Amino acid sequence: MPLRTAALGLSTILAASCLAAPPAHAAAGTQTAWANEGYPYPSASDCVETPGVTTGCIYDQWHAYQGQCVSWVAHRLNTVSGLRYDNHSYLGQRFGSANNWGTAASRAGIPVNMTPARGAVAWYNYHAAFVEYVNPDGSVVVSEMNYDNHNGFRYVTIKPGYRWPKGFIHFKDLPNQRLQYRVDPVGALFADTVPARGALRRGPRVGIGWEKMGLVTQLDDITGDRLPDLLARRNSDGLLFLYPSAGGGRLGPKRQVGSGWLSVRALTDAGSMRGSGRQVVAVYTSGEVRQFSVSRSGLSGMRQLAPTSRWTTVTGIDDVTQDGRTDLLVNTSDKKLLRYPSTATGALGRPTVVSSDYRIGQLVSHERGRFTVVTGTGALATRTVTASRITNHTVIATGLAGHRPA
């Protein structure tokens, strides 16, 4: 079992943080991680894991031990970074215990260095943590499990000289912040930024006259410049336009990509429901639900997903079920919040009720496993969605009554 003494060096202390203590009841840490971040093993045993000895440890779906540091990092790599990481085999390497990760990553061609980035893994001798955010002063917010030898879970800020890792493994670096378009009540369009952690930062006005436009929908990127684009319907004639990004939150000249959209009441970026390409989903006033492929040249390949529905608003929430296809989150007229998985053919699977009493005016999602809503009091809030429920209500802005996030 891990030694505990004040004379231990930093590497030994960190080794202990990823090796569990004697068997006990399931720790509160995994329950907190389940409640707030959707970690799927809330009752993971507080098992013994020492070199050559394991007692009571149970494998998770990624072939790491439940409740251990590697299990948490595997969860984040799959759900936040969108990777298909498996601890036994990833890019031809077996990663195994945390002390092997740096060597395995290098062999797999994954960069390992001392430069932090959101989405990287902070790697210690016998411990691993997930980088959630890099602060402007260079300190780093990480999430970690089993830091206390009892499946403990927390977010903690580290910096050089305080819990700084042996290296950062760059499986997939993520942006520290994202762009979020917003239309105010008088029709001005703003380009705000939303950091990975913290409050929305109100950005510059980048357009006027948007009170004439409905179904303003932000697309992650369809023009190939890695910047979000916009789709919008003109309310006077039902024409649908694509506004490509021009950098800095600005938009280029619009291009008509559709007509006859007055009968559509909800439109969302649906990511890759078919496993390739990019799709949008439209809900019509009749209740019909249609799916279209979308590219820089416009919309094509219409497919009916449902002849009728009670859907009032919908958003794509990326791949919650980790099958390589985007899921949909739907609010219905009877106040149910449903998650629909996509099937191998791009159709809809059987829905799961994630809330039975939820009524909102608009859903938007531009992050894996999270969606954003404007509440009745004008607050902009984000929530985490898992395969079966919603958690972690976080207010990121206030004073936005009547505003429309794209």
Report the pLDDT value the prediction gives residue 52, as an integer from 0 to 100: 65
| Nearest-angstrom CA–CA distance, 298 and 257 | 5
User: Which domains does the chain show, CATH number per domain?
Assistant: 10-169 (3.90.1720.10), 177-405 (2.120.10)
> 366 vs 217, 220, 378, CA distance in Å?
11, 7, 20
> 231 vs 192, 295, 391, CA distance in Å?
17, 11, 29
Residues in the chain with pLDDT values less than 70: 1-27, 50-54, 360-362, 366, 368
Report the pLDDT value the prediction gives residue 4, as an integer from 0 to 100: 26
Identify the residue whose tokens are 């976080």: 394
Beta strands in 297-347 (DSSP E): 298-306, 311-316, 328-332, 337-340
> 177 vs 81, 162, 220, 270, 369, CA distance in Å?
14, 25, 13, 21, 16
| Nearest-angstrom CA–CA distance, 214 and 331 | 19
| Nearest-angstrom CA–CA distance, 30 and 35 | 9
Q: Do 196 and 177 contact (CB within 8 A), yes or no?
A: yes
Report the pLDDT value the prediction gives residue 388, as an integer from 0 to 100: 75
What residues does 267 pair with on adjacent strands?
Answer: 282
Report the pLDDT value the prediction gives residue 123, as an integer from 0 to 100: 96
Q: Do 338 and 289 contact (CB within 8 A), yes or no?
A: no
| Nearest-angstrom CA–CA distance, 386 and 219 | 22
| Nearest-angstrom CA–CA distance, 204 and 206 | 6
Amino acid at the residue 361: G
Report the pLDDT value the prediction gives residue 18, as an integer from 0 to 100: 52
| Nearest-angstrom CA–CA distance, 400 and 271 | 27
| Nearest-angstrom CA–CA distance, 365 and 271 | 10
Question: Whose CA is closest to 81, among 126, 120, 137, 30?
Answer: 120
Secondary structure (DSSP) of 161-221: TBS--SEEE-SS---SEEEEEEE-TTS-EEEEEEESSS--B---EEES-GGGEEEEEEES-
Report the pLDDT value the prediction gives residue 53, as an integer from 0 to 100: 66
Question: Whose CA is closest to 392, among 155, 146, 66, 219?
Answer: 155
State how far Cα 196 lies from the chain centre.
Answer: 10
Question: Whose CA is closest to 33, among 145, 196, 120, 150?
Answer: 145
Q: How many CA atoms lie within 13 A of 301 on its CB side?
A: 14
Question: Whose CA is closest to 230, among 240, 209, 244?
Answer: 244
Secondary structure (DSSP) of 71-82: HHHHHHHHHTS-
